[in-house]
Amino acid sequence: MTTIWELDFYSRPVLDENNKKLWEVLVCESPLDVQTPIDSLFRYSEFCPSTEVNSVRLRDALNHAIEQAPKPPDKIRFFRRQMTNMITKACEDADIPVYPSRRTLTLDRWIEQRMETVYPTMPNYQESKNPSVALPPPAPRPLPDALVGEKWMFATLEASVLNEMPEWEIAFSEAFPLELADLSPETPVPGLILFSTRALPMAAWMSGIELAFLKYIDSPPRLVLEAGADDAWSLANLPKLTLQTEAKNFEAAKAKANGVHFLAIQSDPNAESFAGFWLLQELNLA
């Protein structure tokens, strides 16, 4: 099975003996399955003085993490775009494929926990907000013609049903334990199902673009798929008020599910298998 790591390298709200902010490397394993035990995921942390912040130091930290991990990563994801050059260079030097991604759910949750329970207990802690990584929303691009769905529909599944994903027939998928999002089993989780006679090629393409989340935008009204660090793709135009209402209801349900939702691809509405099924969560990285 593929092993994916999530990586952050940034300053923390703690000062060193020279009154400079400490930096920290955080590495954690991405869960790829809805039933993955969170406690089984590999994690590694290493502090670094500000005078040693460079790609060589980060590469060394990655090598230290690999020495302790049960398995080296097949690829690494990172969300902090202002560190792109340094992270990319370090991963390339360590011979690990690296991708900017907003699919860093475990890392985001871990940083929040450390901001609340770890850094405040350290000497020379200085309370501050987690630095913003928000950028202006990307302009959505049209999907390649060969990947446009012929039909689509909104759907809703209870969280408990999603826990059965490993039993479904799915060609391309990725999920995460719902406890990461603090969802109860009875929570309704909204989603979008795309239907296409080219379902498998569409799912294969989507599996390679670091899916982030689905979103309704109203100018002009359409459904957008956000991916990578700052990519966005138009999935469907919504010229009718009835469709816009459905999309707003989808957004409301997504908010009640702590941003969790799903995207599925099938060949037709009667299909009993999925070409693709991804559990997604819209994170607030601002």
Q: What are the structural domains of the chain?
A: 4-121 (3.30.420.10), 141-281 (no CATH)
Answer yes or no: pTM beyond 0.85.
yes
pLDDT at 103: 94
Long-range contacts of 255-259 (CB under 8 A, 24+ apart): 256/187, 256/188, 257/159, 257/181, 257/183, 257/187, 257/188, 257/189, 257/190, 258/181, 258/182, 258/183, 259/181, 259/213, 259/283, 259/284
Over the stretch 137-146, which tens digit does the pLDDT of each residue have? 678 888 877 7
Q: Looking at residues 92-111, what average pLDDT do you find?
A: 95
How sure is the predictor about 285, in pLDDT bands with cuts at 50, 70 and 90?
A: low
- Give the confidence band of 6 by pLDDT, cuts at 50, 70, 90: very high
Q: How confident is the model at residue 16 (pLDDT cuts 50, 70, 90)?
A: confident
